[in-house]
Amino acid sequence: MTTFALVPGAGSDTWYLGPLAAELTRRGHRAVPAELPCDDDTATLETYADAVVAAVGSDPGDLVVVAHSFGGFSAPLVCDRLAVRELVLVTAMVPAPGESASDWWEATGQGAARAAQDARDGRDPDDVVALFYHDVDEPVADEALRHERAQSATPFDQPWPRDAWPDVRTRYLLCREDKLFPAAFVRTMLARRLRGVVPEVVPGGHHPMLSHPVELAAALLR
């Protein structure tokens, strides 16, 4: 049995990870969505990593850490606290040493990539539902909006504290229909920041744990 520590993205809670956790549990594994103090202005990236450790416990056994979106900034810090067999990034941000999440967008060219995607799709840049939940059933999308939480700027403005990526096997799951982090953008970012990590393509937009939890669980277990 593997313990999957599920690290959410910005401004979200464990509800978003519920369908994926249920699928992993159904397949005989332990899935632990971590509740992060995203609305606490005193909480740092280290605080987030500590919250993941507190959720899984000090002896989780065979541990895989799964990071969604902004979780890419805090999940690698878990590797400094626990023995992690594998780190899986699900349409996640990949930080550089000393770079803040606030600076990441311009440094990686995400803004231009998203603007180009918006233009191709003919999408209003302010349409949050079309950006994040275009592939999610309407009742689920409505519930997701109700679960949105305020995200403190503190961890976003903090320079990433590691001097290199952890020496842990790393995988990246690229979501085929993601409008926030389009496929070409992700491939370029990985080529520059995690050389040797070839993205694995999975179905879904930016929240595949809501739209394709079965396929996402299968990809994690491959």
Q: What is the pLDDT of residues 91-114, one digit of tens each?
A: 999 999 999 999 999 999 999 999
Which pLDDT band holds residue 171 (cuts at 50, 70, 90)?
very high
- For 127-143, what is the mean pLDDT? 95
* Mean pLDDT score of the chain: 97
Q: What is the pLDDT of residues 13-29, one digit of tens each?
A: 999 999 999 999 999 99
Edge-to-edge, what's the strand order for the sheet holding 200-202? 30-33, 3-7, 63-68, 86-90, 169-175, 200-202
- Answer left, alpha or beta for residue 103, where phi above 0 means left and psi between -120 and 50 means alpha: alpha
Give the pTM. 0.96
pLDDT score at 17: 98
Which pLDDT band holds residue 60 (cuts at 50, 70, 90)?
very high
The architecture of the domain spanning 3-220 is: 3-Layer(aba) Sandwich (3.40)
Which pLDDT band holds residue 68 (cuts at 50, 70, 90)?
very high
- For 55-84, what is the mean pLDDT? 97
- For 75-83, what is the mean pLDDT? 98
Task: Say which residues have a Cβ less than 8 Å from residue 194's Cβ, sequence separation at least 6.
Answer: 94, 165, 170, 172
pLDDT score at 198: 97
- For 158-184, what is the mean pLDDT? 98
Which pLDDT band holds residue 88 (cuts at 50, 70, 90)?
very high
- For 123-147, what is the mean pLDDT? 94
Report domain extents, the chain. 3-220
| Structure tokens that stand for 6 in this block | 């599920």
For strands 30-33 and 3-7, give the pairing. Answer: parallel
DSSP string, 96-133: -TT--HHHHHHHHTHHHHHHHHHHHHT--TT-HHHHHS
